[in-house]
Structure 1
Amino acid sequence: MTDRTLYIVTCGAPLAARVADGVSAARSRGWNPYVIPTDAALPWLESQDLADVPILTGNRKPTEAKRAPKADAIVVVPATFNTLNAWANGNANTYPLTTLCAALGSRTRTVAVPFAKTDLAGHPAWLASLAVLRYAGVRVVDPHDGSTASLDPVESGTGDHIAESFRWDWVLGELEPAGETRGP
């Protein structure tokens, strides 16, 4: 049994096809994961075996109890152009965005894996949003190689290949204090 809660926010891009792997990797490192998909990510989750992992969608009703404990950390895998820009601008108009905006305000450890095609990553808002999120303490991980020092856009048609090569330890390792690892 673990007492560390991890929210896995996922957006609609090929890397969302690896959420089940992320759940497994998180559990092996002592996290209790909850999945929070954007509407665009839901089709990517349909064919995955997420077993007993809570999938939180939509806002709860005022009469409903909280659905999850407070997060100790949050990962956004993948973070698409739309979500990343809305998050950086403080737009909390969906449950995933509200979760992400609240994480910035509460200084919850957060790691994002941006996933935007070259033409979108060339838009000026992209670089500005990345700068805002980094300034706020979000660790940004390149989906190509796990780098935190650089970030390359996703060339059109390569998303599935990048998703296949992606390693969840790149993300989860950023949540651990320097020099500390948990699990196998």
Structure 2
Amino acid sequence: MTNRTLYIVVCGAPLAARAGDGVKAARANGWDPHVIPTDAAMPWLADQDLGGAPVITGNRTPDQPKRTPPADAVVVVPMTFNTLNALANGNANTYPLTILSAALGARTPIVATPFAKHDLAGHPAWLASLAVLRYAGVTIVDPHDGSTRALEPVASGTGDDVTEVFQWEWIFHQL
């Protein structure tokens, strides 16, 4: 049986330290994971065991073949304030945002775990962008408890605590 292809988009926030766990959970749930980090996520991935999952960065050149099979689903763990707002506004100026924008336009299932502090979540664009993404079919998962009904900002200084309690099964339950 062929595994389904899962793109794991990783943004630069403390939860990025659990990307290796996401790769393992993806395989345990029958997915073939491909990691697509933002530039800010790269330092978080440097010392992680990603189990040989392909890590795809930067746009390919016109003479290069496609580097991944089409995604059956995409997860964004964590999704930063910047990426959330950029995706909601249709910005595709980086490889991860291009992947996310194309998946959204193709109606590929997307599950996202926003990870932002109270001050950023208090910005008016936060609620507007969440509404746009939910309307477009993105499933939003709270990093504190896996809820899809509510989303709490991450209190300043608690990123490591939230990262520790996060369970990847919350993501796969939504897929």
TM-score, length of structure 2 as denominator length:
0.99
Match of 2:124 in 1: 124
Match of 2:85 in 1: 85
Deviation at 1:52, TM superposition (A): 1.3
Match of 1:159 in 2: 159
Q: Percent identity?
A: 72
Equivalent residue pairs, number: 175
Equivalent residues in 2 for 1:23-172, closer than 5 Å: 23-172=23-172
CA distance in 2, matches of 1:42, 1:99: 17
Task: Please list the CA deviations of residues 106-127 of structure 1 after superposition, one character each: whole Å capped at 9, or x if unmatched.
Answer: 0000000000000000000000
3-state SS of the aligned residue for 2:34?
A: strand
CA contact (8 A) 2:114 2:140 kept: yes
CA distance in 1, matches of 2:174, 2:128: 22
CA distance in 1, matches of 2:96, 2:70: 14
CA distance in 2, matches of 1:172, 1:15: 16
CA distance in 1, matches of 2:63, 2:119: 44
Deviation at 1:51, TM superposition (A): 3.0
Q: Any stretches of 5+ residues in structure 2 without a counterpart?
A: none
Deviation at 1:3, TM superposition (A): 2.8
- Deviating above 4 A after TM superposition, structure 1's stretches of 4 or more consecutive aligned residues are none
3-state SS of the aligned residue for 1:25?
A: helix
CA distance in 2, matches of 1:108, 1:116: 24
Task: Please list the CA deviations of residues 10-57 of structure 1 after superposition, one character each: whole Å capped at 9, or x if unmatched.
Answer: 100000000000000000010000000000000000010113110000
CA distance in 2, matches of 1:168, 1:14: 15
Match of 1:181 in 2: none
CA distance in 2, matches of 1:67, 1:37: 14
CA distance in 2, matches of 1:174, 1:24: 17
Q: Any stretches of 5+ residues in structure 1 without a counterpart?
A: 176-184
CA distance in 2, matches of 1:103, 1:134: 14
Deviation at 1:2, TM superposition (A): 3.2
CA distance in 2, matches of 1:6, 1:12: 19
CA distance in 2, matches of 1:164, 1:42: 20
CA contact (8 A) 2:9 2:74 kept: yes
